[in-house]
């Protein structure tokens, strides 16, 4: 089985700013994954990135039920 992996890189010596288009681009990726029911994994180490990822995922909960935060 193939996976799409979304990653923010942990480098404690240097933090690079996230792409200002992250939400728009991630929305396109999640829409494609959801339409095809393709699995994906997410790894995030910084609050700045995970907050932005989760904000995008929350917009899909009603539309794509498999994109949900686990309790």
**CB 44: neighbour CB atoms within 10 A?**
16
What pLDDT score does 71 carry? 47
The model's pLDDT over 5-58, given as tens digits with 9 standing for 90+, comes to 555 556 556 666 778 898 999 999 888 888 887 888 777 777 778 888 888 888
Residues belonging to the chain: 71
pLDDT band at 67 (very low <50, low <70, confident <90, very high): low
- What does R_g of the chain's alpha carbons equal in angstroms? 13
Residue 61 has pLDDT above 70, yes or no: no
Supply the pLDDT for residue 32: 87
- In this structure, are residues 50 and 44 in contact, taking their beta carbons and an 8 Å threshold? yes
49 near 18, Cβ under 8 Å?
yes
């Amino acid at each position: 089985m193939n996976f799409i992996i979304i990653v923010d890189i942990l480098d404690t010596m240097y933090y690079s700013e996230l792409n200002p288009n992250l939400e728009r681009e991630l929305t396109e990726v999640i829409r494609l994954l959801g339409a095809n029911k393709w699995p994906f994994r997410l790894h995030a180490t910084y609050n700045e990135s995970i907050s932005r990822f989760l904000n995008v995922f929350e917009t899909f909960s009603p539309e794509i039920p498999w994109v949900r935060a686990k309790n």
